[in-house]
Amino acid sequence: MTALAVVLAALQGLAWRASPPGATVGDTIVLERVLPAPTGARARTRGLEASDLVEPLGTPDVLLVPEGLYVRHRVALFAPGVHALSMPVIELLHPDGTVEVVLGDTAFVRVAAVIPDSLEAPVPMPSQAPLGRPAHRPGRAAVPVAAVLALLGLWCAWRLRPRRAVPPATPPAAAVDLPLMRWLGAGERRAVATVAVHRLRTAVAAHIPDAARAPTAAAWAATIATARPAWPVDELADVLRALERARFAPLGADDLAELVDRADVIAGRLVPPAGGAA
C-alpha cells in the first residue's frame, strides 16, 4: 500500500487531517481531506487568508484518486496552542455540468511552542551581597583645588607682567617724485600712464575724499561735480579717461608726455573752496 493510500484510508470519516502531529511554531503543516466525487468530477478551491497567525504556503492541491478528490493545503502557524481554522469552500463540478458547493468546515490544528515557557515556575534570584562603601579620603579633594589655584596664580602673574614700551610709530615717508620722463624714454608707457592716473586721483582725493571710492571715471566725475562744481570737471574726466585708455592701448611717447603734463597742470590748479578745509 502506498503512502497516499494510507493517508486516504486514515481520512475516511474525517473532514480535515493535520500533519505532522508534533508540529511546532513555524513548521510546514499539511491540511488534507478526501472529497467523495463521481468519476470525471473536478474541484477547485482557494487558499486560506494570510494573517498574523496563519501564512499559506503556495496554492492548494486537488488530486483525482479512486476514492474521489484529494484536497491538500500547506500552511505555517506562528502561535502555540490548538487553533480552529475556517477552511475555504470547495466547488465540485460534476460530469453532467452541475456545480456543487461543499463547505470547507473547520480544521483543528495543535501547534507546540519552540521555546519552552520558563516562567511557569519562576525561581527568584538570590539577593546580592551588600556593596561596600569606598574609604573617605579628604586629601583627594585638595589636589584638584590646589591645581586650580596654581593655574589661577600663574594667569594673574602673566596678566600683571610689566609691559614693554611700544616704539613710536615711524612717520610716513615723503612722496617720491618718480622719473616719469625717463621711464617714458625707456619705453615703459603703460607704467607711466598708471602712475599718472594714480597721481591725478590722489590729488583730487586730497580735497574730496569720497572721490577715492569712485570705481569708474563717470562716477569719479559725478562725485567731483557734486563737491566742487567750480572745478573743471569735464576736463578732469577727459584726462582721466585718456590716461586709463593709455594703460591698455599705449599712446606715442610725445602724446603720452603731453597728456601727463596736462594732468599735472590741472592737478596743480585744484584748490579747496575759499574759507574752508579740504
- Asked whether residue 37 is domain-assigned, the answer is yes
- Asked whether residue 131 is domain-assigned, the answer is no
Total structural domains in the chain?
A: 2
Which amino acid is present at 75? V
- Asked whether residue 171 is domain-assigned, the answer is no
Distance CA 18, CA 84 (A): 11
Distance CA 149, CA 165 (A): 31
Encode pLDDT of 153-177 as tens digits: 888 888 888 877 666 655 544 444 5
Same-domain check for residues 19 and 105: yes
- Asked whether residue 139 is domain-assigned, the answer is no
Residue 217 has pLDDT above 50, yes or no: yes
Same-domain check for residues 17 and 100: yes
Residue 10 has pLDDT above 70, yes or no: no
- Asked whether residue 150 is domain-assigned, the answer is no
Which of 228 and 116 is assigned the larger pLDDT? 228
The enclosing domain of 29 has a CATH number of 2.60.40
Using only C-alpha atoms, the chain has a radius of gyration, in whole angstroms, of: 55
Encode pLDDT of 244-278 as tens digits: 887 777 667 777 777 788 888 887 777 655 444 44
User: Domain boundary residue among 111, 141, 171?
Assistant: 111
- Give Cβ neighbours of residue 24 (< 8 Å, ≥ 6 apart): 80, 111, 112, 113, 114
- 3-state class (DSSP) for residue 147: helix
Distance CA 112, CA 116 (A): 9
Residue 31: its pLDDT value, please? 94
Residue 5: its pLDDT value, please? 42
Distance CA 241, CA 220 (A): 11
Mean pLDDT for 4-17 is 54
Distance CA 60, CA 91 (A): 13
Distance CA 9, CA 16 (A): 13
Distance CA 182, CA 158 (A): 57
Range of the domain at 248: 180-268
Residue 74 has pLDDT above 80, yes or no: yes
Which of 66 and 54 is assigned the larger pLDDT? 54
- Pairing outcome for strands 81-86 and 90-93: unpaired
User: Domain boundary residue among 61, 90, 111?
Assistant: 111
- Asked whether residue 202 is domain-assigned, the answer is yes
Q: Which of 7, 72, 65, 85 is nearest to 45 (CA)?
A: 72
User: Domain boundary residue among 83, 111, 139?
Assistant: 111
User: How much is the pTM?
Assistant: 0.40
- Asked whether residue 91 is domain-assigned, the answer is yes
- Asked whether residue 155 is domain-assigned, the answer is no
Mean pLDDT for 27-50 is 89
The grid coordinates of residue 126 equal 538570590
DSSP 68-133: EEEEEEEEEE-S-EEEEEEPPPEEEE-TTS-EEEE---EEEEEEB-SS--TTSS--PPPPPPPPPP
Residue 147: its pLDDT value, please? 87
Q: Using CB atoms within 10 A of its CB, is residue 29 exposed (0-12), middle (13-18) or buried (19+)? A: buried
- 3-state class (DSSP) for residue 152: helix
Maximum Cα interatomic distance, the chain, rounded to a whole number of Å: 135
Same-domain check for residues 7 and 106: yes
Which of 76 and 167 is assigned the larger pLDDT? 76
Give 106's strand partners. Answer: 86
Distance CA 56, CA 65 (A): 24
